[in-house]
Amino acid sequence: MNIQPVDRSLQAQLQQKIDHLNKPKGSLGRLEELALQIGLIQHTLTPSLNHPCHLLLGGDHGIEREGVSVSPREVTWQQMINFTHGGGGVNMFCRQHGFKLRIVDVGVDYDLSGIDGIIDCKIARGTRNFLHEAAMNQEEYEHAMQVGVRLVDECVAEGCQVISVGEMGIANTSPSSIWMSLFGNIPLDECIGAGAGLDSPGISHKRQVLAEAVEHYRQTRSGDTAKVDAEDVIRYFGGFEMVAAVGAMLRGAERGLVVLVDGFIMTACAIAAIRLCPEAQDYMVFTHCGDESGHRRMLDIVGARPLLNLGLRLGEGTGALCAFPILDSAVRMINEMNNFDTAKITKYF
């Protein structure tokens, strides 16, 4: 993809406009930073957040067969159907904040083709077990990336200016932890948490399984994980829904969208996208620091400052949706506040 760094030629004008609003300079803190970022992304002094869209991507993982999650894999398809009934957290927040929700089957291990409200982009019924082999082959990887690209293009055709991505996939904290370890050069043990609610023995088992998987991967590659090829790591360990999310984030950046990054899994996808194309980070807003062990350290890998810290760990993109009103406030600030001239207030700095 051809992702360009944001055009900063308007930066001085945007900053001047923000500083000249009738308030003490810098007094609206992160809102001012967000307004500047969104203005740069859209290359305008009057940014907007029209037609926000949310992609809810579903997929199952072969590694789930190793007992690394407290939740059974059937919860993936059961929740996907629940979302079509409007009963999930993601549904509530999309309704609250005016997001158009797309529920997408990228690789769920269940036949959802006849379910109204689910977009069928199924590549396979779950990935392979990366304890023993690559989760997907090159063709499947490219297919998953293109799913994300196509979904974003459909949103842009409707007038979308801001995209958020969520996931539904039992055991997807496992590949996320491995991506965090390999991309962040962090010991794997420090990247593994409870996921959906593992107890201490369960976490120990998860650590053992994932350590074996990474060791097997090292043996099949050069052994130098510090210089490992990003695409190879993404393909070997990722889920179909995760790779589609990477594709969506990259395409969102390429199309000049504001890209909202959710919790632990989606931050792992954002880091993967940044490893493939560093310029993509200019378009990302990291919305919250979740409750999953290691999320704070994952955010530190890319120097991200999340907007919220609410102890969230639901996934589905719910944290990104919760943070949207903050972006809305930032845009309203730069567009609707009086400046010192129009308010006839003495500028005192």
Query: How far apart (Å, rounded) are the C-alpha atoms in residues 117 and 101?
Result: 10
Give the residue numbers marked as catalytic.
Answer: 316
The 3-state secondary structure of 235-288, one letter per residue:
HHHCCHHHHHHHHHHHHHHHCCCEEEECCHHHHHHHHHHHHHCHHHHHHEEECE
305: number of Cβ within 10 Å? 11
- Give dist(CA 66, CA 89) in Å, integer: 28
CA distance 348 to 276: 46
Residue positions counted in the chain: 349
For residues 106 and 102, give the distance between their C-alpha atoms in angstroms, rounded to a whole number: 12
Residues forming a β-bridge with 274 = none
Residue 163's DSSP bridge partners are 53, 259
